[in-house]
Amino acid sequence: MTRPIVGIISNSYLINDQYPTHAGGTMNSEAVSTVAGCMPLLIPSDPRFVSVEELLQTCDGFVLTGARPNVHPDEYGEDPTEAHGDFDRARDAITLPLVRACVERGQPFLGICRGFQEVNVAMGGSLYPEIRDLPGRDNHRMPPDGTLEEKFALRHVVTLSEDGPFARVFGSHKVLTNTLHGQGIKTPGARVVIDGHAPDGTPEAIYIKDAPGFTLSVQWHPEWDAANDPVSRPLFSTFGEAVRQWATFKGAPRKISA
């Protein structure tokens, strides 16, 4: 049986600082394939090579992945500073209109880290360039040393709305997650509902109000150990169900809870 296709947003990357590629973490493909039950398809996120319309017609759903480059602050009306870090304008040009189109069509997407931030910016929101510089906030960045297991270790609780879509997915309004990000939501975009927070108040889980499809997005990295983690597994499984629903009822998606 043919699996529905999930487009995984890639990132511009230089191999040996010379050879340009579009890259995506293997753990994203693994989570989509083994947990969501869909076929992963890496997207060259550059408008020179693909259009949003082509992606909407080719894929049944999308994973907006994490990345080191950040959304350019021009996209939310602010000037770039050194604190904003590196950028990937080609990815911005694909993902921001793609998010808006998916919201309108009811086509499922799962936002992760940078993808979470892209969803907020696409809907008209803004970002803080560096969360750890804000009074009372913790350092949410990836630990600089250690193994991958140590970098992706569970580090804080996320508290969710008790009657929100995330609590329904997880079966709890408190979950333990990793944290590997520098930026975060400053102003929520139109219809962006912040449904979960870290202990320091940093937004960690969002969805789009009244969207006809799956729009759950998280600031942490659920793709890590997705098949075994008790939070990641139901998130990717629920996303996969939404993608299968879209693939079955293309053009006339049914209302789903998230």
**pLDDT tens digits for 151-206?**
888 889 999 999 999 999 999 999 999 998 889 999 999 999 999 999 999 999 99
* Span 72-76, average pLDDT: 94
pLDDT of residue 238 exceeding 60, the answer is yes
How confident is the model at residue 153, as a pLDDT? 81
**Phi, psi of 180, deg, nearest 5:** -145, 50
Q: 70 vs 56, 75, 78, 209, CA distance in Å?
A: 23, 11, 13, 25
Say if CB 178 and CB 204 are below 8 A apart: no
How does the average pLDDT of the chain come out, rounded?
A: 92
Hey, CA dihedral for 16, 17, 18, 21, is it positive or negative?
positive
**Phi, psi of 235, deg, nearest 5:** -65, -50
* pLDDT, tens digit, 9 for 90 and up, residues 115-133: 999 999 999 999 999 888 8
Cα 152 to Cα 147: distance, rounded to the nearest angstrom: 9
pLDDT of residue 149 exceeding 60, the answer is yes
Domains and CATH numbers, the chain: 5-248 (3.40.50.880)
Q: 115 vs 63, 149, 172, 218, 222, CA distance in Å?
A: 8, 22, 24, 8, 12
Q: pTM of the entire structure? A: 0.93
Q: Indicate the pLDDT class of residue 69, thresholds 50, 70 and 90.
A: confident
Q: 73 vs 116, 186, 187, 191, CA distance in Å?
A: 15, 12, 13, 20
pLDDT of residue 22 exceeding 50, the answer is yes
How confident is the model at residue 54, as a pLDDT? 97
